[in-house]
């Protein structure tokens, strides 16, 4: 995130304003001391016109596609499809992510948004696209 901001000669405060958060909160995301929520990541990607995969260096190709808002139900369906493709149970996925089966169930039902840290883990371990998981393709 820093490189994109620096290339445009922007201050953290300016990007924090775009995201509707404090500069200190944005700083923690940029310095990787906390994970940026997927909804804020979507806004950031739209602002810079880059894909999620590009911003996290999962791809050198920027396949940007505008997505106004992320949809928890779509992401949950994609998560469930991924899990079934790899023949992973909810319990097994929960163990991988150090969470509970009920949390995975809530993600898949679209009741709550998957944590960015969990999405990044899956993208890294299984080589899946964050943009595809979040229906940004």
User: pLDDT by residue (tens digit) across 11-41?
Assistant: 999 999 999 999 999 999 999 999 999 999 9
Residue range of the domain that includes 84? 72-133
Q: Is the pLDDT of residue 97 over 90?
A: yes
CA 40 to centroid of chain Cα atoms: 9
Average pLDDT over residues 44-65: 94
In this prediction, residue 68 carries a pLDDT of 94
pLDDT tens per residue, range 77-95: 999 999 999 999 999 999 9
Question: C-alpha angle 74/75/81, rounded to 5°?
Answer: 90
Residue with tokens 């996925």: 93
* Eight-state DSSP code of residue 110: T
Could you tell me the CATH number of the domain that includes residue 83? Answer: 1.10.260.40
* Per-residue three-class SS string for 60-88: CCCCCCCCCCCCHHHHHHHHHHHHHHCCC
Considering the domain boundaries, does residue 101 fall inside one? Answer: yes
User: Does 78 lie in the same domain as 43?
Assistant: no
User: Does 42 lie in the same domain as 81?
Assistant: no
CA distance 48 to 120: 20
Considering the domain boundaries, does residue 94 fall inside one? Answer: yes
User: Total domain count for the chain?
Assistant: 2
In this prediction, residue 2 carries a pLDDT of 85
Domain edge (last residue) among 55, 80, 98: 55
Considering the domain boundaries, does residue 41 fall inside one? Answer: yes
Q: Is the pLDDT of residue 137 over 90?
A: no
Q: Which two tokens stand for residue 137?
A: 């393709």
Distances (CA, A) of 105 to 40, 45, 83, 99, 100: 23, 27, 11, 11, 9
CA 2 to centroid of chain Cα atoms: 17
User: Does 127 lie in the same domain as 87?
Assistant: yes
pLDDT tens per residue, range 105-130: 999 999 999 999 999 999 999 999 99
Q: Is the pLDDT of residue 8 over 90?
A: yes
> Taking each helix axis from N to C terminus, what angle separates 12-19 and 23-30, rounded to the nearest 10 degrees?
100
Kind and range of the H or E element at 105?
Answer: helix 101-108
Considering the domain boundaries, does residue 89 fall inside one? Answer: yes
Considering the domain boundaries, does residue 65 fall inside one? Answer: no
């Amino acid at each position: 995130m820093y490189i994109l901001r620096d290339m445009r000669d922007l201050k953290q405060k300016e990007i924090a304003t775009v995201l509707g958060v404090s500069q200190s909160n944005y700083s923690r995301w940029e310095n990787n001391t906390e994970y940026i929520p997927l909804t804020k990541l979507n806004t950031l990607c739209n602002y810079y016109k880059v894909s999620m995969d590009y911003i996290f260096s999962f791809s050198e190709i920027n396949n940007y596609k505008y997505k106004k808002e992320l949809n928890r139900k779509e992401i949950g369906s994609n998560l469930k499809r991924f899990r079934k493709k790899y023949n992973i149970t909810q319990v097994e996925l929960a163990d991988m992510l150090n969470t509970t089966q009920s949390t995975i169930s809530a993600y898949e039902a679209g009741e709550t948004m998957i944590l960015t840290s969990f999405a990044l883990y899956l993208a890294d371990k299984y080589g899946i696209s964050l943009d595809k998981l979040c229906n940004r393709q």
